[in-house]
Structure 1
C-alpha cells in the first residue's frame, strides 16, 4: 500500500509545489511521465484536468505516464513546462550549483573531512551517490542550527535554512532505497524548522505552508513523531493567535493521528491542548492535561534515546514555565509570577530567545498582579533582547504590559513606553 499524500487545492500551491523531491528529481531527469504522475499525485488532479493544463487529451496523458509515449517534441515539452509552471531553474542546463548548506554559520567542534564536505556541497553537480555520512552530516547541521536559533533568534538563520533545505531536496535525485526515505525525513525536519522560524517572525501564511509541507513529507517518510509535531506546532500557532478551540482540536489530532509517536511527542501534544483550554478559561482541563503531559515527559526522560532530536528542550524547567503561561491566561497572577520566576531562574543563558519571551510574560504577570515596580524592571530588561531576537511575540507582550500599566495609572510607566519607541 502506498504512503499517503496530502491533496492540495491547486490554486494554493504557488512555487512551493516545486520543492517536492519527487518532482525535482523527475524534472531534472526530464522523465515527463514521472513528472505528470507526481504532479497528479500531489495535486489530486485527474488525467483529464491535467491534460487541460498542458494541452493534451486524456489518452495522451495516460500514455505518457505509462511510458507508452515518449515526449520528443519540443512543442509538447514546452506545453508541459508552461502548463505546469515548472520553474526554469529546475530544467536541465539551468540548474545552479547548490551553495554550501552552512553559509553564515561556523559550527563548533571538528568539521567533516574534505571528501565529505565536497560531497555535501557539490553532490548535485557530481556523479557521487548519496550516502549515509553525507546525511549524518546534514543531520548534525540541522541540530546545530536549532541550537543557534535558541541564542540568536530566527532572523539570521532563515536564509541559511532555505538554502540548506534546497540542498537536501536536491539530494533526492541521487538517493535510492532507504536513503531516499531518509532524505524525505530530513526535508520534513528542515521544513518544520523553517515553519517555526516563520511563525517566530509573525509570517503566519508562510509558517502554515511550511508546516503543511513538513507534515506531508513526514507522512511520506513514515515519521510519526514529525507528523504529530507539525500538528502540535499548528496548535501552538492557533494559541498564539488567540484561538483556543482550534489549538485544542489540533493538539488532540496530533495525539490520535500518530499513535506511534514517542512519549515525549505525545506529552507535547497534551501540553498544547492544555494551552488551548487555559486560553478558553477552562482551568480544570488545563491543569489535568498539564499533569498528564508532565507525566509523559518525565517517563520519556528515562529513555531519551527513544525521543526525536528536536525534543531536547522539554523537561522540568520547561513545564514550570508552561504552568506559568497557563496561570497567565487564567489571570491567576500570583501563580503566574511564581512559576515564571522559578522557570526563568533555571533556564540556561543560551536560551536567549526563550528567556526574552518568558521575561515579557513575567512582566505582564507582575502588571496583572498590580506590582508595577517589578513589572517595569523586568520589562525594561527585556526590551533590548526583544528587539534583537524576540520579535514579534515578546514585543507584543511588552506592549500589552505597557498598556495594562497605563490603564492602572502606574507611576514611571513612561520609561517603558519610551524604551519601546526607541527600539521599535
Structure 2
C-alpha cells in the first residue's frame, strides 16, 4: 500500500505538511488517511512505534537528514513536494529583485539591457554585482537565511544569464560570480538543514570555481562540506574533506587555508581527539592572523574570521570534549565581543552557552541564558539554535533539575 495508489498526495493538508517540513503532521495525516497503525507506519519508514508516536505528538523533532530521508522514501513522497528537491536545482530565468536601495540609474539600465538584450557585459555591471553579493552576505548575518533565499536564487539566474554575453576575462568573472552565488545558496540551504539542496549547490559552486580557476572558492566549498559533515556528527568525514580543501587547492589564500584547518579541528574534536583539535585550531588561528596583515589577498567571504570567532570555536571544541567549564569561559568571552546585530550567531552561540552551563551543572544559569533566546531561536534560529535549546532542556531534565521542565514549558508554545 502506498500513497500513489491511495491518491493521498493530492490532499492539500498532506501537501502543506510536507512543504512546511512538519513531519509529525505528515506521519499523523498519512497514517489516518491510509488507515494504518503507528507500528505499520514505523515499518514503512524504519522506526519503532514509540518513535513514530513521539514524532506525531511533537515530543521528538526530526532534525536528522537520515530520518527525513526514511520518511520521504518510506511514504513515497513525490519529489516535487519536498523542499530540498526544489532547492537543489537552479531557478528558472527571472528578473533581478533588489532587497533595498538599488544601483544608480546608469548601472540598473546596463544590467537590465544585458540580461534582456544580450548586449555586451561590462566591468561596472560585474563590480556592482560583487558589491551587491557582499551586502547580501552581511544582511544574512543580521536577519538569517530564510528571507534571502528567493532574492539570491533570482540574482544567480541573472548572473548565469550574463554568461552568454560575456567575452574573454569578463566571462571568467561571470563564472566566478556564479560560483560565489551558488556557494551562498548552499550555505543558506545548509543553515535551514536542507542537506540535499546544500550538497547540490556546493557541487555546482565547486565545478564553476574550477572552471574559473578560483582556488579560494574551490577550497571553500570543500571546507563547507566538512562543516556539513561536522553538523551531522560525522567527524572522520569532516576531517577528510577539510584536508582535501587544503591539498586540492594549493593556491588558496592563507585565510582560506586557515578555514580548512579549523574545520579539521572540529572533526577531531567530534571524535574526542583533543590534541589534534587544539593543534589544528592553533594552526588555523595563526594562518588567519597572518592573513589579516594582507586583507587585500583574501576573498570577500572571509570577513567573519577573527579573534572573536576563534574564541567561539574554542568554546565549541571544549563542548565536544565535555570540558564544560572551559566551554562556558570561551563562549561567554566570544559572545561579549560578537557584533550585536548578528542575531542568528548570537542566538546559536547563546544556545550553546546554555547547553554548556547545563553540562557544567549550572542549572539556574542555563535557564537564565536560554529563556531570552527563545523568540529568535524560533524564527531566525531554526533548526540549529532551536534544537540546541531542546538539547539543553534534555540535559537539565536528565539531571533532575526543575529548570529542565521550566525550559520545556517555555519552548512548547513555539514548537
> Would you say same fold, with TM above 0.5?
yes
**Deviations 1:247-285 (CA, angstroms, capped at 9, x unpaired):** 000000000000000000000000000000000000000
Give the structure 2 partner of residue 341 of structure 1.
332
1:307 is aligned to 298
User: Larger Rg: 1 or 2?
Assistant: 1
Aligned to 2:264: 273
Q: Which residue of 1 aligns with 2:222?
A: 231
Change (3 A) 1:96 1:185: closer
CA distance in 2, matches of 1:150, 1:351: 5
Q: Which runs of 4+ in 1 moved over 4 A?
A: none
Q: TM-score, normalised by structure 1?
A: 0.75
Task: Name structure 1 gaps, 5 residues minimum.
Answer: 1-89
Distance apart, 1:423 and its partner CA: 1.3
| Structure 2 residue runs without a partner (length 5+) | 1-89
More helix by share: 2
**2:388 counterpart residue number:** 397
**Residues matched between the structures, number:** 326
1:182-261 aligned within 5 A: 182-261=173-252
Q: Does 1:376 align with 2:372?
A: no
Q: Which residue of 2 aligns with 1:106?
A: 100
CA RMSD in angstroms, aligned pairs only: 1.5
Specify the SS of the correspondent of 1:390: coil
Q: Distance in 1 between matches of 2:325 and 2:118?
A: 63
Deviation of 1:128 after TM superposition, in Å, equals 2.4
The answer for the alignment partner of 2:14 in structure 1 is none
Partner of 1:289: 280
Report what 1:176 is aligned to: 167
- Scaled by the length of structure 2, what TM-score is found? 0.77
The CA deviation at 1:177 is 0.4
State whether residues 363 and 379 of structure 1, in contact with CA within 8 Å, keep that contact through their aligned partners in structure 2: yes
Query: What CA distance in whole angstroms lies between the structure 2 residues aligned with 1:263 and 1:126?
Result: 41
- Answer yes or no: is the 8 Å Cα contact 1:101–1:121 preserved in 2: no
Matched residues in 2 for 1:416 and 1:96: separation? 44
Deviations 1:113-168 (A, max 9, x none): 21210222342222421100100111111101100000100000101100000000
Query: Contact conserved, 2:92 with 2:157, CA < 8 A, in 1?
Result: no
Partner of residue 323, structure 1: 314
| Counterparts of 2:121 and 2:92, CA distance in 1 | 19
* Conserved? CA contact 1:98–1:122, under 8 Å: no
Alignment of 1:17-36 (within 5 A): none
